[in-house]
Amino acid sequence: MSAPARILVTKRVFPEAVEFLRREFEVDYNGTDRVLPSDELIQRARGCAAVVSQLTDRLSADVIAALDGVRIIANVAVGYDNIDVAAATARSIAVTNTPGVLTETTADFAFALLMAAARRVVEAHAFVHSGQWSTWIIDLLAGQDIHGATLGIFGLGRIGAAVARRGRGFGMRILYCDDQPAPPELERELEARRVSREELLRESDFVSLHVPLTPATRHLIGAAELAMMKPSAILVNTARGPVVDEAALAEALEKRTIWAAGLDVFEDEPRVHPKLLELPNVVLAPHIASASFSTRRRMSMMAAENAAAALAGRRPPNLVNPEVWR
């Protein structure tokens, strides 16, 4: 009998995923939250047929070129901008992600950021906590209404549509901007109207981003776009940090070009633009939109199942480069 295939799991995941893999494979498990430097990742991947990676692993073309014998990179995330997919494809390495399981959880959090920014929940908590509350004041911590407002969604995919559904529950009007029109039944369900980028920015009270990070979406929202938004508008980003020009956003928030923002993702995580750390009108979170126990557990399992399928010669269910699997 041949020796079991070897898998590198680059970072801590939910334990059932490692238990599952250990039933059939030899697993080199970095069961810590330390990101492996590229040279260590390459060295530990020697002799491995699969790598279970996370979005903090930078799998550039150079790193991929050094992954001899690796047949699949199974990312524990729906986004895979941390992986040079073209380089993987050129070496016939399958790349997989974890779509679907995190849709509702991520949409919940996007809406939580939207509401927290609009109704100043973080400022209110700090205010009470610090003992500043002395009496009822007519405009104390007054914010923006959510119900009946216009919600503009960039990218009406799975997560964008789930956020729009939450908006509909609050009686919001939905506008969206996407390269492709949504299916007519989805547009009908959400009463959503596809508009130009400019119309969305000018009309929306809330703008929520749900596009993948690609060369075309890098700095999709910059100074010019922020200048088109209403002074009362709120920007929510749970997609990827570089979709927004963070320096331009910090300036717009400081100058009140827009009213507030709710951010879960940043251009150079875990670094946050210093101005954003000082401003009262931004709610910040450390890339946790999909972080419910059950969703992160399912993401861990899904990546493990993708890796196991590929090593068993089965097409992995969540292949992002199908051309490698013929």
* 19 catalytically annotated: no
What are the Cα distances from residue 111, in Å, to 107, 160, 162, 168, 170? 6, 11, 10, 12, 11
**Of residues 209-228, those binding ligand DGY (CB under 6 A):** none
Joined together, the tokens standing for residue 84 give 């040079």
Count other C-beta atoms under 10 Å from residue 88's C-beta: 23
> Which amino acid would we find at residue 51?
V
13 near ligand DGY (CB under 6 A): no
Residue 243: CA count within 13 A, CB half-sphere: 23
Per-position x/- string for 100-119, each x denoting binding to ligand DGY as judged by CB under 6 A, each - no binding = --x-----------------
79 near ligand DGY (CB under 6 A): yes
Q: Give the residue with the Cβ less far from ligand DGY, 144 or 300.
A: 300
Given 6, 173, 287, 298, the catalytic residue: 287
52 near ligand DGY (CB under 6 A): no
Determine the Cα–Cα distance for residues 189 and 171; give it in Å rounded to an integer.
Answer: 13
Residues of 59-75 as b/e, b for ≥16 C-beta within 10 angstroms? beeebbeebeebbbbbb
- For ligand DGY, the binding residue among 18, 42, 78, 252 (CB under 6 A) is 78
252 near ligand DGY (CB under 6 A): no
21 near ligand DGY (CB under 6 A): no
* 269 catalytically annotated: yes
| Crossing angle (nearest 10°) for helices 158-169 and 103-118 | 50
159 near ligand DGY (CB under 6 A): no
Residue 244 sits at the vertex; the CA angle it makes with 240 and 245, to the nearest 5 degrees, is 135
Q: Give the residue with the Cβ less far from ligand DGY, 77 or 149.
A: 77
List active site positions: 240, 269, 287
Site residues (vs ligand DGY, CB under 6 A): 55, 77-79, 102, 290
